[in-house]
Structure 1
Amino acid sequence: MVLTPTLTLYVARSFLGATLAVVAALTGLVALFDFIELLRRAATRPDVGFDIPLEIAALRLPFVAMQILPFAILLGGIIAFWRLTRSSELIVARAAGVSAWGFLTGPLVVALLLGVVATAGISPLSSSLLARAERLDQTFLRTGGGLTSLAGGRLWLRQSDRELDPQGVAIIAGRPVATRPANLPRPGDAPRFELQEVSVWRLGGTDRPLARIEAPRARLSGGLWVLEDAVVFGTDRVTAPPRRIELPTELTPGRIEDSFASPETLGFWSLPGFIEVLEEAGFSAVRHRIQFQSLLANPVLALSMALLAAGFSMRQTRRGGVAQMIAGGIAAGFALFVVDKVSNEFGEAGSLPVVLAAWAPTLAGLLLALALLLHLEDG
């Protein structure tokens, strides 16, 4: 394989420019439709002005760009390679003895770096902004919603409780206190979380009942559940006078809220620790594990899309069928996207292991793209 630095950098620059242009165009188009939909929903709320839909749409921009990036790499690569082929630049390079693998090195490195930057750099930013956008949407534009509607009006939590037993657990049930628009936390404010009509079952390591607590209200603050006027029922069913009880916990208001929100509101670096705490608290972390594995697979997916773009667009124009080849590339990318979503659904349902659900479509696309290039170049 002959490597020519000047040609490699030239092709890589063309590929990067076309990809970034497609990312900007598609992100702007999706954001425009999203903003129009937000305006339509805001029209039914007389207390919501033009600024709220605009802020929500702007906060969603990095997340939209993250979702569009693989398809933008495919479409941008098709445009870049087709232009180079139409101008005969790639044909001349091949006639000079440079194979496709030689001048594809630059675009493949660029695609891989774009995937790494998206996962490690853009993901934390997009998740933070998306979480803020969802809170604004939930508060100002949606009717109802929140934890109460998601949990059927009563929230159940499970956490470790080593005060009475080294392997004990506590099961907490209550009705979440609704957050009013005026109470929307501002950046830097500590979130609040309260439950009403609270029941706490304290169990031993073998699920042996140790005590039950009933309280009209519980507040989560500073690593403690603070139960006011709580009544304790012991194993002998004798009640103690109402008093204030504090239960240590590893849960935080943010983690409880995030467990009911979409995993996309958590960044790549935050997901591993959150998954660990979520499972210790008795929640299912399957969706979050799939999201983490999908972020890990992003660079490989970007590489696969670049290879697909090369395989479907470097055919010489004198052979005809260029439009069919480009349409085939777009169709292949869309099919890969659909397979990825279907695989994730099977993973969330437990029908497929998490790693297989997240990585199988990406690896299958990579192998198919390599097979196509090998067929066109060496076959």
Structure 2
Amino acid sequence: MRVPRVLAIYVGRVFLLSTLSVLGGLIAIVALFDVIELTRRAAGRPDVPFGRLVEITALKLPFMAIEILPFAVLVGGLVAFWRLTRSSELIVARAAGVSAWQFLAAPVAAGTLLGLVAITAVSPVSAMFYARAERLDSTLLRGGAGTLGLSGGGLWVKQRDDALARGGSAILHGERIAAVGPDQLTLERVSVFRLGPDDRFLERIEAERAVLEPRRWRLEGAAAVGAERMGPRNATLTLATDLTVARLQDGLAPPDTLSFWALPGFVSVLEEAGFSAQRHRLRFNALLALPLLGGTMVLVAAGFSMRPSRRGGVGLMIGAGVAAGFSLFVLTKVVGEFGVSGALPVMLAAWTPTGVGLMLAVAMLLHLEDG
């Protein structure tokens, strides 16, 4: 039958335009608040120009779009279906025998497609830009506390080194991570490069191992390396630091700075090094669930906004739809924390909000069609 197909495409076009408009508006609002927050943080730093703050926010826009997308699909769907119901277009279609499932096919496909585009195309751009924004934020507003890198089981750390020269820094490289505990980290075959305030090389230290303890690195079997030779490794040296195991793990490529395609490989690297990869696994599964969540939000919006206006209470139903979307957002954060802590399996924590929303939407639409 041609009429349901044409109607589905028409409803899908109205839904898509409404969703993209809502998404643009929500991104603008969030970006405005982010600029205000960055301006507040930069209030005591007159050397930070306002343009750099705007640049940080602009770099975060793709990440914001992915995070806001499910709520934008919900609100866009509520607006689109309410307008179509108010103009009696959907009421006439249903009176003519067209099922809600038929004319919702295109909007559901559009919501799912938006999720697919977000994780496959926008996610790599988002990760690259967000990592750049975090580096700018760290350099301009957090004083460049330190940078970290992890590859092949080895660890690179750059930190402040005020003991050697004020404003100096130290670059520490461990070839192998020997042990990781809640309060202690041990690296083997360690090199330390100490730099002055102008990044001028001052000293190099080679050590058999380095142990991260509260407020310091303990370098065992350490020796200074001269221009021609290295002295005997028989000293135990200390290097002051404000790093902790928790801060190291948080700084090793946070999940938000990795694309959907890069997350599985980095999870393997983290686990080989002995670090927990719960947050990265949760992020990967949450992105994997995004297309299904997009389609689910379309069904939730339809269930709350397709009530005929002659029955009254339309505004209350739309408000309930927004509240349901906010509840799903809160549920996502709560079960996500349980997933990170290990209290829930990561897959269950990532997919629960989508499953709950899908069951709610299907129940409401079945009641709307047959009840």
TM-score w.r.t. structure 1 length? 0.76
Secondary structure of the 2:14 match is: helix
Q: d(CA) in 1 for partners of 2:324 and 2:52? A: 38
| Aligned CA distance change for structure 1 residues 228 and 201 (closer, same or farther; 3 Å) | farther
Q: d(CA) in 2 for partners of 1:35 and 1:310? A: 34
What's the counterpart of residue 77 of structure 2? 77
**Cα distance, 1:12 vs. partner?**
0.4
What amino acid is the match of 2:325? G
Q: Structure 2 matches for 1:221-300, cutoff 5 A?
A: 230=206, 259-300=251-292
What amino acid is the match of 1:13? R
Q: d(CA) in 1 for partners of 2:280 and 2:253? A: 10
Q: d(CA) in 2 for partners of 1:359 and 1:370? A: 17
**Cα distance, 1:212 vs. partner?**
6.8
Structure 2 residues not aligned, in runs of 5+: 163-168, 180-186, 196-202, 210-219, 231-247
Encode CA deviations 1:62-111: one digit per residue, 9 max, x unaligned. 11111111000000000000000000001111111101111111101100
What's the counterpart of residue 10 of structure 2? 10
User: Aligned-pair RMSD on alpha carbons?
Assistant: 3.5
What's the counterpart of residue 194 of structure 1? 171
Instruction: Report if the CA contact (8 A) 1:201-1:213 is conserved.
Output: no
Q: d(CA) in 1 for partners of 2:61 and 2:88? A: 37
**Cα distance, 1:116 vs. partner?**
0.5
| Aligned CA distance change for structure 1 residues 292 and 179 (closer, same or farther; 3 Å) | farther
Instruction: Report if the CA contact (8 A) 2:152-2:269 is conserved.
Output: no
**Cα distance, 1:284 vs. partner?**
1.0
Q: d(CA) in 2 for partners of 1:59 and 1:81? A: 33
Instruction: Report if the CA contact (8 A) 1:218-1:228 is conserved.
Output: yes
Instruction: Report if the CA contact (8 A) 2:170-2:193 is conserved.
Output: no
| Aligned CA distance change for structure 1 residues 45 and 329 (closer, same or farther; 3 Å) | same
What amino acid is the match of 2:370? D
Q: d(CA) in 2 for partners of 1:122 and 1:317? A: 38
Q: d(CA) in 2 for partners of 1:70 and 1:91? A: 26
| Aligned CA distance change for structure 1 residues 134 and 97 (closer, same or farther; 3 Å) | same
Structure 1 residues not aligned, in runs of 5+: 149-154, 161-169, 181-191, 204-210, 220-226, 245-255
**Cα distance, 1:264 vs. partner?**
0.8
Instruction: Report if the CA contact (8 A) 2:206-2:222 is conserved.
Output: no
What's the counterpart of residue 29 of structure 1? 29
**Cα distance, 1:144 vs. partner?**
6.1
What's the counterpart of residue 357 of structure 1? 349
Encode CA deviations 1:340-368: one digit per residue, 9 max, x unaligned. 11000000000001111101121111111
What's the counterpart of residue 121 of structure 1? 121
**Cα distance, 1:339 vs. partner?**
0.5
| Aligned CA distance change for structure 1 residues 179 and 136 (closer, same or farther; 3 Å) | farther
What amino acid is the match of 1:69? L
Q: d(CA) in 1 for partners of 2:361 and 2:131? A: 35
| Aligned CA distance change for structure 1 residues 193 and 369 (closer, same or farther; 3 Å) | farther
Identity %: 54
Q: d(CA) in 2 for partners of 1:277 and 1:218? A: 27
What's the counterpart of residue 376 of structure 1? 368
**Cα distance, 1:178 vs. partner?**
3.5
Q: d(CA) in 2 for partners of 1:340 and 1:201? A: 34
Secondary structure of the 1:194 match is: strand
Pairs aligned (count): 322
| Aligned CA distance change for structure 1 residues 258 and 104 (closer, same or farther; 3 Å) | same
TM-score w.r.t. structure 2 length? 0.77
Secondary structure of the 2:49 match is: coil
What's the counterpart of residue 236 of structure 2? none
What's the counterpart of residue 185 of structure 1? none
| Aligned CA distance change for structure 1 residues 214 and 259 (closer, same or farther; 3 Å) | closer
**Cα distance, 1:44 vs. partner?**
1.6
**Cα distance, 1:177 vs. partner?**
3.0
